[in-house]
């Protein structure tokens, strides 16, 4: 039998708690990403910037799909509205963080209006309603020429400025996008892993039980959709800053579907998994697709089928399972 003295003589090796390990992981990941332009070519840096923008969009969609259980096919509406609002604001003289803020607020307002209708539905009905909202938004972007530039889009968006410095180089744009990407991801993590996240997961698993506990579930789901829409709007604002151009294609079904694809591929069980999915989607579509004679979408389809069959819980789950075992 182990005596108390023996137990005291052999103290357990100090170990980092889960919170400290996560904080260390986030800090290390951020530093690694921040250093990327120092060893990557400008094209690769630009691709990585697109991945961050799309990853933030996918992660915001994951809050709805993975945490609240609301699969949306119209999330690009908020992304596009944020992009248009930020681009319009930048063109009219307020570039940088101010334009981003306008993008976030306008996207949140659109999500509030759209969500007031959509969150009363669930399952396939929610999917169809969000699809309709996405299509309506794209139609508006296409036809409201005086504001959106119509099918030509809004071009000539000025580069963001920070403390008087114009961020028009691939590396500086990347760092600008990375800074807001980290802020957006931390906000998403805070919501999905803290007390509000438990409430949202409770609604996902049984809305009736949550109502029986006294929760106004419709209002809570609307709040989650507005928050996810605001983060998607932030991603849209970053897209405008990076591409310096916003077109109706950024608002449409294809963008929503690709974001949903990134969530499924990355895995809905983790807050960072959709970013991995987004990276794969962007690399396969933009980089690999170019070498496949323009058959990027076909490669994406194959990737999706493979993931669904071989990793039904997503890529991130492999790591989580290994970490747990």
Partner 1 sequence: MKLEVRELSAGYGQGQVLHGLDLDLPAGQALALLGRNGVGKTTLVCTLAGLLRPTGGRVLLDGRDVTGWRPDRLARAGVALVPQGRRVWPALTVHEHLALATRHGGRTWPTERVYEVFPRLAQRRRHLAGQLSGGEQQMLVIGRALATDPRLILMDEPSEGLAPIVVDQVAEALRMVVREGLTLLLVEHDLHLALGVTEQAAVMVRGLIVHRCPTPQLRGDLPTMRRLLGVAG
List residues binding partner 1 (CB under 8 A): 195, 198-199, 201-202, 205-206, 208-217
Neighbours of 24 (CB within 10 A): 11
Give the pair of three-digit tokens for residue 269.
């069980």
Nearer to partner 1, 47 or 268 (CB): 268
State the helix-helix crossing angle for 217-243 and 76-91, rounded to 10 degrees: 50
Shortest Cβ 110–partner 1 spacing (Å): 27
CB count within 10 Å of CB 314 equals 25
Q: Which is nearer to partner 1, 65 or 240 (CB)?
A: 65
Q: How far apart are CA 81 and CA 34, in angstroms?
A: 28
Q: How far is the CB of 215 from partner 1 (least distance, A)?
A: 5
Q: How far apart are the first and last CA of the chain?
A: 29
CA proximity to 46, closest of 236, 248, 295, 286: 286
Residue 116 or 306: which CB sits closer to partner 1? 116
Minimum gap (Å) between residue 206 Cβ and partner 1: 7
Q: For partner 1, give the closer residue by CB, 30 or 122.
A: 122
Q: How far is the C-alpha of 147 from the C-alpha of 134, rounded, in Å?
A: 18
CB of 199 to partner 1, least distance (A): 6
Centre a 10 Å sphere on the Cβ of residue 253 and count the other Cβ atoms it contains: 16
> What is the closest distance, in whole angstroms, from the C-beta atom of residue 212 to partner 1 in the complex?
5
Nearer to partner 1, 96 or 197 (CB): 197
Tokens 């790591």 -> residue: 319
Q: Least CB distance from residue 195 to partner 1, whole Å?
A: 7
Alpha helices in the chain (DSSP H): 4-9, 18-39, 42-62, 76-91, 97-118, 123-143, 145-148, 170-193, 195-205, 207-212, 217-243, 253-266, 273-282, 289-291, 296-310, 315-324
Q: How far is the CB of 196 from partner 1 (least distance, A)?
A: 9
Query: How far is residue 67's CA from residue 72's CA, in Å, rounded to a whole number?
Result: 13
Output 215 or 253, the one with its CB closest to partner 1: 215
CB distance 151 to 159 below 8 Å:
no
Rounded to whole angstroms, the Cα distance separating 158 from 320 reads 42
Q: Look at residues 139, 127, 151, 148 and name the one whose alpha carbon lies nearest to residue 256.
A: 127
Closest distance to partner 1 from the beta carbon of 15 (Å): 17
219 vs 292 by CB, closer to partner 1 = 219
Which residue(s) pair with 162 in the sheet? 165
* Closer to partner 1 by Cβ: residue 211 or 321: 211
- Minimum distance, C-beta of residue 39 to partner 1, in the bound complex (Å): 40
**Nearer to partner 1 among residue 102 and residue 119 (C-beta):** 119
């Amino acid at each position: 039998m182990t005596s108390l003295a023996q137990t005291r003589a052999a103290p357990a090796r100090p170990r980092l708690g889960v919170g400290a390990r996560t904080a260390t992981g986030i800090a290390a990941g951020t530093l690694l990403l921040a250093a990327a332009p120092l060893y990557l070519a400008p094209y690769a840096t630009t691709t990585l910037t697109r991945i961050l923008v799309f990853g933030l969009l996918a992660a915001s969609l994951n809050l709805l799909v993975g945490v609240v259980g609301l699969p949306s096919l119209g999330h690009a509406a908020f992304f596009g509205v944020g992009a248009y609002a930020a681009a319009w604001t930048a063109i009219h003289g307020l570039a940088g963080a101010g334009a981003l803020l306008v993008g976030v607020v306008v996207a949140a307002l659109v999500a509030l209006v759209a969500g007031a209708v959509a969150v009363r539905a669930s399952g396939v009905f929610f999917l169809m309603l969000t699809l309709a909202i996405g299509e309506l938004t794209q139609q508006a972007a296409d036809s409201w020429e005086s504001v959106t530039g119509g099918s030509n889009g809004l071009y000539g968006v000025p580069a963001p400025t920070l403390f008087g410095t114009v961020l028009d180089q691939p590396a500086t744009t990347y760092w600008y996008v990375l800074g807001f990407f980290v802020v957006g991801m931390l906000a998403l993590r805070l919501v999905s892993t803290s007390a509000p996240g438990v409430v949202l997961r409770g609604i996902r698993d049984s809305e009736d039980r949550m109502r029986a506990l006294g929760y106004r579930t419709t209002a809570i789901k609307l709040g989650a959709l507005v928050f996810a829409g605001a983060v998607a709007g932030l991603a849209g604002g970053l897209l405008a800053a990076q591409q310096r151009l916003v077109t109706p294609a950024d608002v449409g079904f294809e963008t929503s579907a690709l974001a949903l694809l990134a969530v499924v591929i990355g895995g809905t069980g983790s807050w960072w998994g959709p970013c991995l999915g987004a990276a794969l989607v962007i690399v396969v579509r933009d980089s690999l697709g170019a070498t496949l004679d323009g058959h990027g979408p076909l490669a994406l389809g194959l990737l999706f089928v493979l993931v669904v069959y071989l990793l039904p819980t997503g890529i991130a789950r492999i790591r989580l399972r290994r970490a747990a075992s």
